[in-house]
Amino acid sequence: MRRRFYMGANLERAVAISDLRARMHRRLPNFVTEYIEGGAEEELTLRENREIFSRILFRPNTLINAAGVDASTKLFGRPLRLPVVIAPTGSNGLYWHEGDQCLARAAAAFGIPFTQSTVSNARLEDVAALPGVRHWMQLYVFRARAFMEELVARADAAGSEALVVTVDAAAFGNREWDRRNYGRDMDPTLANKLDVLRRPHWMANVLARGLPTFANVADKIPPAERTYKRTASWTREQMDLAFDWSDIALLRRIWPRRLIIKGLVTADDAARAADAGADGVVLSNHGGRQLDGMVSGVATLPEVRRRVGDDFTILVDGGFRRGTDIVKALALGADAVMVGRATLYGLAAAGEAGVMRALAILEQEVLRTMALLGRLTVADLGLDCLAARSDPLDGLAVLPAERGVRSLARPSHGLAEQLAEQREGIGSI
């Protein structure tokens, strides 16, 4: 019998993120689906973000009483039901009406933070004011520095818990498959316009209400030009190649709460971020949408952890679709992961209820994976429960640790060697 993903409306029958993704493909027009799914150029980075997980394997302990397995943890001193943060994504109103609010409400109900993008379709003040939301604000540093400072002041006044500064978008990525959907002035091609007619549910939910605008930057555009296309073009024009560490220093001076730098992957940059006063980093290649052929943040995670130590917060994103992916990242040294596409698939499939289903699926998978590994808490996860299929992390400086303990003391060599040493009882601490 031919295998098929479930694409129906009964969310309880969506047993994996891939089912929500399949429903999204059924519901959204092609040019909107491509915006979510696509990457830069040959999409090498996009594929690597998923493939690296297949090269990292588990080494479980058995006969462990796992009745009390618990995936909760703390991040910046506050409790998390699941070590997940919803990542910043733009144009969420294209997938579902008031998409940003749907994501934020689901995050609040689930007890995790929601990160709102500078180029979201809702005012940051409106989202931050939603009941129970842990609001993080993502910031692009545009050429108009006064506007940047204005956004920071607005996030401060709104009580945002953290400011997440994206540093890997000084130039806009070359997303060729996305560009092929448009003619002049970001106008969808005729084929894409005809495809919209095949999506009546999307038309009723989104198009009939008018295309969303980028509410946080709209007042920088003349009133007569505040269309979706013109505002999107303005944000691309504002990308600033002159953005550097001096801008991080400025943000640290004017932002009073948690400062997180997103979009770096090297240990040197992470250490410099810590020295600059950042409270944490997100190891990220922008979901494969910026520099093609780039390393995954997961691959550099052990090296970064060794360099910055245990007291500095590390998040990672890129390709997370399964609870097993999340557990692998935690075992490699992450404090939590950011998920973007996984929750967008839920949003595009069924709005807020779809986001809740996506988070529930991930939680169930994390708990199941931890139980099968014989690790009852997040603190129990360490390198000793992993093995490398073909040493994708070769040469990274990290020592095999006791369960839940990260080590900074030994010289570097490949992960496969380190795990092999541990199995043979060599180099124990």
Q: Which residues contact 2 (CB under 8 A, 6 or more apart)?
A: none
Q: Which residues contact 37 (CB under 8 A, 6 or more apart)?
A: 341
Spacing of C-alpha 80 from chain mean position: 16
Instruction: Give me 261's structure tokens.
Output: 């730098």
Q: Is 177 helix (H, G, I), strand (E, B) or coil?
A: helix
pLDDT at residue 415, as a whole number: 52
Average pLDDT over the chain, rounded to an integer: 89
Please enumerate, by residue number, every residue annotated as part of a binding site: 35, 88-90, 117, 138, 140, 166, 175, 262, 284, 286, 289, 317-321, 340-341
pLDDT at residue 425, as a whole number: 33
Please enumerate, by residue number, every residue annotated as part of a binding site for FMN: 88-90, 117, 138, 166, 262, 284, 317-321, 340-341
Instruction: Give me 352's structure tokens.
Output: 């807020």
Strands in 103-203 per DSSP E: 114-116, 135-140, 162-166
For residue 102, pLDDT beyond 80 = yes
For residue 374, pLDDT beyond 70 = yes
pLDDT digits (tens, 9 = 90+) for 288-334: 898 999 999 999 999 999 999 999 999 999 999 999 999 999 999 99
Q: What is the DSSP letter of 407?
A: B
∠ CA(303), CA(304), CA(306), 5° rounding? 65
Please enumerate, by residue number, every residue annotated as part of a binding site for glyoxylate: 35, 140, 175, 286, 289
pLDDT at residue 411, as a whole number: 34
CA–CA distance, 231 with 219 (Å, rounded to integer): 10
pLDDT at residue 402, as a whole number: 43
pLDDT at residue 408, as a whole number: 34
- Catalytic status, residue 286: yes
pLDDT at residue 429, as a whole number: 25
* pLDDT tier, 416 (very low <50, low <70, confident <90, very high otherwise): low
Least confident of 139-153, 171-185, 398-412: 398-412
For residue 376, pLDDT beyond 60 = yes
pLDDT at residue 132, as a whole number: 97
For residue 394, pLDDT beyond 70 = no
CA–CA distance, 322 with 381 (Å, rounded to integer): 17
Rg of the chain (C-alpha set)? 21
Residue percentage of the chain with pLDDT more than 70: 90
pLDDT at residue 407, as a whole number: 39
Q: 142 pairs with which residues across the strands?
A: 239
- φ, ψ at 362 (rounded to 5°): -60, -40
- φ, ψ at 293 (rounded to 5°): 80, 20
pLDDT at residue 419, as a whole number: 46
Closest by Cα among 4, 5, 30, 15 to 348: 30
Residue percentage of the chain with pLDDT more than 90: 74
Q: 57 pairs with which residues across the strands?
A: 387
For residue 397, pLDDT beyond 60 = no
- Mean pLDDT, residues 2-20: 96
Active-site residue (options: 25, 97, 201, 286): 286
* 51 vs 222: which has the higher pLDDT: 51
Return the H-helix or E-strand segment holding 37. Answer: helix 30-37
pLDDT at residue 336, as a whole number: 98
pLDDT at residue 417, as a whole number: 54
pLDDT digits (tens, 9 = 90+) for 155-169: 999 999 999 999 998
- Which domains, ranges and CATH numbers included, belong to the chain? 11-175+238-376 (3.20.20.70), 382-423 (no CATH)
